[in-house]
Structure 1
Amino acid sequence: MAARDTAAVAVLPDAVNPCALSLNESPFPPLPAVRAAVRASLDSLNRYPEFLPHRLRSVIAGRLGVAADQVVIGEGATGVLMQVLHALTSPGDTLVMSTPTFDGYPILARMARLRPVTVPLDRHGHHDLDAMADAAVGARVVVVCRPHNPTGTVEQVSALERFLSRVPADTVVLLDEAYVEFLAPEHRVDAVDLVHRFGNVVVVRTFSKAYGLAGLRVGYGFCAPALGRALWAMQLPFGVSLPALVAVVASYEAENQLRQRIRTITAERRRLQMRLRAMGVYTTDAQANFVYLPGAAVRWSDAFDGSGLLVRRYDDGGVRITVGSRASTRAVIRTVAAAMR
């Protein structure tokens, strides 16, 4: 193999590894139509993308049924979250979050020099929304993940609405819906309506998970128009590549195929959950593309040592395991069974 070919192989990500179950990536490559659209865009890589992502903003706004000035674009959901913190907080402000939570929140809090206040989840991996509403008094930002990361749990719509009604109007609520596409209809909330009714809510989503575009780094948020204009002022110039734009458009146009992939992942998640529970292993009621094993009774993180499976580990010994292929499900079951012996 030529040296340049060897170098090209060396930079391939761990996503090609079927045992990489720590980042909640899609086990599937991009849809055929998405690959074709991205390939067709490569001849334009010598040109800068749009200065600000007006076209992508319009595409997403049209999809949601909201005005364009209600939408902001970021480098994945994390980029949107950073925009919110840069635009709306000052050093020393308070950020309320659950614990455990998405790894990015503590990191972003440090980067924005915010004071983090953490509220423990209950024993079943759900938010304590009453305690979070209490903590939100005087806070600048409070975060609710739905489905939650890492437990995958979903708070009832009525409970979420009660929480939002209690949060002060000058406190921004980040409703993190990174995994919303995996939710069954009965678990979904009308986020557009929430934004209309609660002017302090910013809904954050991503194309990294269900859409399988993690490598292109595209996320978005939507909110009330006044809040959206404040966030757009922090929009990074040249921040969205042409391949990312065409990949999103092609993904929307191939939604039937995308839904089939989501159904496949969801079915595999249920299979993994049922197999674990049949073995007497407690898992939270995860509704995303992963399962979560709390570490209160067993240090599951130790069980995966030497297994070859890459899972996300937590300080209490819990683990979050991305749902992958049938082969990775079998490997997880074998690892757990060996630990129980």
Structure 2
Amino acid sequence: MPESSSTRSVRRSPALRTALSAIPPYAPGRRASSDLTAALASNESHFAPLPSVQQVVQNAARTVNRYPDMTSTRLREEIGAFLQTDPGHIAVSPGSVGALQQLVTSFCDEGDEVVFAWRSFEAYPILVRLAGARPVPVPLTADEEHDLDAMAAAITDRTRMVLLCVPNNPTGVGMTQADLVAFLDRVPPTVLVVVDEAYAEYVDSPGHAAALSLLDERSNVCVLRTFSKAYGLAGLRVGYAVGPAHVADGLRRAALPFGVSAPAQEAAIASLAAAGELHTRVTALVRERRRVVDAVRDQGWSVPDSQANFFWLRANGRPLSRLLTAFDDAQILVRPFADEGIRITLADRATNDRVLRVLSDVRRGAAL
């Protein structure tokens, strides 16, 4: 017998988990609508993959009819040689955020807690809530640094993980090795400390945190790295985690089968071999970062020292709408974060000069 319209209107359907109602959708940076638009909102490399890598990607594309190596054996071996560590301590993932999702899934049960600085990478609270755990955000200091004292105080018996974004996204502020070690000394050995080093290649500050050097002596530290940023492989989604062997094994067990494509694996291997090309590119960007940050400060803006491929303008109570309108009018896409500030990714000199002109005009009132 056919259903009546009244019957169809009350039919029940599968329900989503209640945890999803508390999760805001991840907000990616806006995409460029034309070649004239400067896309500086997503922290991608402004430059194409390294020249020696591009041909490797093209060649690897011929094999996409086959499944990739699920455990990324050769890539793990190459990363191990690059870092001088056992490949058994490495797990490859779809970007470093893929490794983080696998970590949260592997370590957190319903009601467990994960401590992290805020503001920091937007995916942190999303991934924590998806696992049924409780995010514990700890505000940054007035200088945009991780408040390590407050983070240590926020650890409870339910804390399973602490996330440190070093350098921090979106502020770009780093952390010293001395501060990292002092913090780790205060963390119980049963709590995993994940140091997210997505922007590690851009760091040039003496004494900056080097979490990889602590892995032999710390059994509760895991480091995340990615090929998305400095290496320019954001679209291929490949990153990795380095930590104790049992942690890496757990990540491989929790991984989505065949999650890292063969072209991504081959491109990452070729990228590791292109150390000279990468050094040239990163050196140029760091030099440009210094120039831009100095110029922005000379205009009167307050900008923290950045160790990443972007810089941060804190709102400090000023409305952001006028500044965002000025960037839109100049066809420059930047990334606002509520009413807190704006993150601007660094690009080539000409594009960065466009950014400086907008900031100068706004500062002088010409764009208001």
Q: TM-score, normalised by structure 1?
A: 0.92
- Secondary structure of 2:216's partner? helix
Shift of 1:315: 1.9
Are the structure 2 counterparts of residues 190 and 291 from structure 1 closer, same or farther at C-alpha, using a change threshold of 3 Å?
A: closer
- The answer (yes or no) to whether the contact 1:147–1:154 under 8 Å persists in 2 is yes
Partner of residue 151, structure 2: 132
> What residue identity is the alignment partner of 1:338?
D
> What residue identity is the alignment partner of 1:25?
E
Are the structure 2 counterparts of residues 339 and 89 from structure 1 closer, same or farther at C-alpha, using a change threshold of 3 Å?
A: same
Greater C-alpha radius of gyration: 2
> Are 1:234 and 2:257 an aligned pair?
no
In 2, Cα distance between the equivalents of 1:238 and 1:230? 16
> Are 1:250 and 2:258 an aligned pair?
no
> Are 1:177 and 2:197 an aligned pair?
yes
Partner of residue 83, structure 1: 102
Partner of residue 323, structure 2: 303
> Are 1:168 and 2:185 an aligned pair?
no
Partner of residue 204, structure 1: 224
- Secondary structure of 2:57's partner? helix
Partner of residue 78, structure 2: 59
Give the stretch that moved more between structures: 305-314 or 215-224. Answer: 305-314
2:60 to 41, 49, 64: 41
- The answer (yes or no) to whether the contact 2:166–2:175 under 8 Å persists in 1 is yes
- 1:1-341 map, 5 Å: 14=32, 19-138=38-157, 139-184=159-204, 186-300=206-320, 302-305=322-325, 306-307=328-329, 308-340=331-363, 341=365
Shift of 1:185: 6.0
- The answer (yes or no) to whether the contact 2:176–2:208 under 8 Å persists in 1 is no
In 1, Cα distance between the equivalents of 2:178 and 2:160? 23
- Per-residue Cα deviation, 1:286-322 (whole angstroms, up to 9, x for no partner): 1110000111143345302233221111123410100
CA root-mean-square deviation? 1.7
Shift of 1:15: 9.9
Aligned length: 329
Give the stretch that moved more between structures: 126-135 or 180-189. Answer: 180-189
Are the structure 2 counterparts of residues 16 and 57 from structure 1 closer, same or farther at C-alpha, using a change threshold of 3 Å?
A: farther
Are the structure 2 counterparts of residues 235 and 288 from structure 1 closer, same or farther at C-alpha, using a change threshold of 3 Å?
A: same
Are the structure 2 counterparts of residues 301 and 252 from structure 1 closer, same or farther at C-alpha, using a change threshold of 3 Å?
A: farther
Shift of 1:227: 2.1
In 1, Cα distance between the equivalents of 2:34 and 2:240? 26
> What residue identity is the alignment partner of 2:81?
G
- The answer (yes or no) to whether the contact 2:224–2:242 under 8 Å persists in 1 is yes
In 2, Cα distance between the equivalents of 1:302 and 1:77? 34
- Per-residue Cα deviation, 1:230-287 (whole angstroms, up to 9, x for no partner): 2222132211211111111111221111111111111111111011011111101111
Q: Percent identity?
A: 39
Q: Unaligned 5+ residue runs, structure 1?
A: 1-12
In 2, Cα distance between the equivalents of 1:241 and 1:186? 36
Partner of residue 11, structure 2: none
Shift of 1:102: 0.6
